Structures are given as C-alpha cells and as structure tokens.
C-alpha cells in the first residue's frame, strides 16, 4: 500500500457509494476511502458514544498505532467494520456528510456496506453474516422452535457455541423471541392500510417485529388516542 506523509481529508479517486460503479468493487480504491474516513473520524471523535466501531478505532490508534491510521491492519479494519450494526446515528450526527453538501462526502454506514459487499464478493458470505444479517429469518426459525430457541439461549454450553460460531458474546443478554410478530398482529387488528393516505406511518424495527411486539402495539394505541 502507498505510504503518504499525510492523509488528505478530501475525497480520493476511490470514493464511491454506488455498487454499479466499477471502482466500488476495487479493493485498492476502497482502502483509500477507508483510510481517509478513519483519519477524519480520528480527528473528530464526535461519534465516540455510538456503536463499538468508533471506540475500537480510537483505542487502536491511541493505544497501539500512535495515531497513525496507516498502521491499522486488515484484520483490525474487519473488526472495526463488523462492530457497525447500521443504526446510522453516526451519519445523522456527522458534520461532513454528502447529505449536508460537505466537501468531504463522508458516509460511514455506506462505507461499511461497501466494505462488507466487497469482502463477500471476494471471500464469500460468512455464516455469521448470513444468520445475523437476516433477523426476520432468524425470528421465523426461533418461532418454529416453539420456545426451544429461547431456552437454548439460557444454556451456557449453547452460548459458548454461539460465541465460537457467530461471534455473539457468551455473556451478552439476548432478548427472547416472541411467539408472533408485530406485523401479524397489525394485520389481524386491521391496522395496515393498502391504499395511500393516513396521518401516521409506523416503521417497526426488527426488534419490535420479532422480540417485543408489545412495544409496537402500545405505540399504536398511543397514536390512536
């Protein structure tokens, strides 16, 4: 990889958030943008309080690499990117986004998407990504287990297995899967309109959909008052 005395904040010729562009899939072009983004985030640190991507990045730079983004390894980059779960709060908070017409055109969530897409194309999709990347399928399989999945998630040996296979920490508190989804309740209750109109659109999260549908029901009740 090229070594430069300084990493410019301006977009490189590798900038792309469009998967139809050839350079989107170019690993060298991607690497330029990753280094540039890491350098900007390192200097800003406004997003330290969000997902573990940012604390991980900052800790590596502060404690291991003496602030030099170029020293971050490919493995460490993967760890940083995998810590992002696409809540997109960083993009809302970031002062350097294309959405705000800033010249840096930063978009960390879409950069993560690009990184994972390029990795999947090069190496194939990992089991972890297949399972955790499709929460609705995971929720369906859990419901089909008739509660066994919830019981298994309380068994230490099973949690160790999940940690080894999927990277879910054995001590992480996991929510139970509900017996039905919020969407099924909404359909039965006649809350979903097929036509255009209405005053409110409710976007349920995968958590409300599969784990806590009661939150969605309570929200609907409040909105209807």
Contact criterion met (CB below 8 Å) for 98 and 111: no
Grouping H, G, I as helix, E, B as strand and the rest as coil, residue 154 is: coil
Answer left, alpha or beta for residue 10, where phi above 0 means left and psi between -120 and 50 means alpha.
beta
- CA distance readout (Å), 222 to 199, 212, 219, 225: 14, 16, 5, 5
- pTM attached to this predicted model: 0.76
Q: How confident is the model at residue 121, as a pLDDT?
A: 94
Q: How confident is the model at residue 18, as a pLDDT?
A: 95
CB neighbours (10 Å) of residue 79? 15
pLDDT tens for each residue of the chain, 225 residues long: 444 467 899 999 999 999 999 999 999 999 999 999 999 999 999 999 989 999 999 999 999 999 999 999 999 999 999 999 898 999 999 999 988 999 999 999 999 999 999 999 999 988 988 898 899 999 999 999 999 999 999 999 999 999 999 989 999 999 999 999 999 999 999 888 777 777 778 899 999 999 999 999 999 999 888
Contacts of 94 (CB under 8 A, 6+ apart): 46, 47, 106, 107, 108
């Amino acid at each position: 990889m090229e070594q430069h005395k300084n990493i410019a904040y301006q977009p490189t010729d590798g900038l792309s958030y469009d998967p139809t562009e050839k350079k989107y899939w170019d690993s060298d072009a991607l690497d330029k943008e990753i280094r540039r983004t890491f350098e900007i985030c390192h200097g800003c640190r406004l997003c330290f309080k969000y997902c573990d991507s940012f604390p991980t990045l900052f800790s590596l730079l502060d404690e291991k690499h003496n602030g030099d983004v170029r020293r971050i390894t490919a493995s460490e980059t993967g760890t940083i990117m995998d810590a992002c779960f696409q809540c997109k709060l960083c993009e809302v908070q970031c002062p350097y986004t294309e959405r705000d017409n800033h010249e840096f055109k930063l978009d960390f969530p879409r950069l993560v998407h690009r990184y994972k897409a390029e990795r999947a194309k090069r190496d194939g999709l990992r089991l972890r990504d297949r399972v955790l990347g499709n929460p609705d399928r995971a929720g369906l399989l859990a419901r089909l287990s008739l509660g066994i999945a919830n019981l298994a998630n309380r068994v230490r040996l099973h949690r160790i297995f999940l940690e080894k296979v999927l990277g879910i920490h054995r001590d992480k508190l996991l929510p139970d899967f509900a017996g039905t989804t919020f969407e099924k309740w909404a359909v039965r209750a006649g809350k979903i309109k097929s036509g255009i109109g209405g005053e409110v659109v409710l976007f349920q999260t995968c958590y409300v959909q599969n784990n806590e549908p009661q939150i969605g029901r309570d929200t609907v009740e409040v909105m209807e008052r």
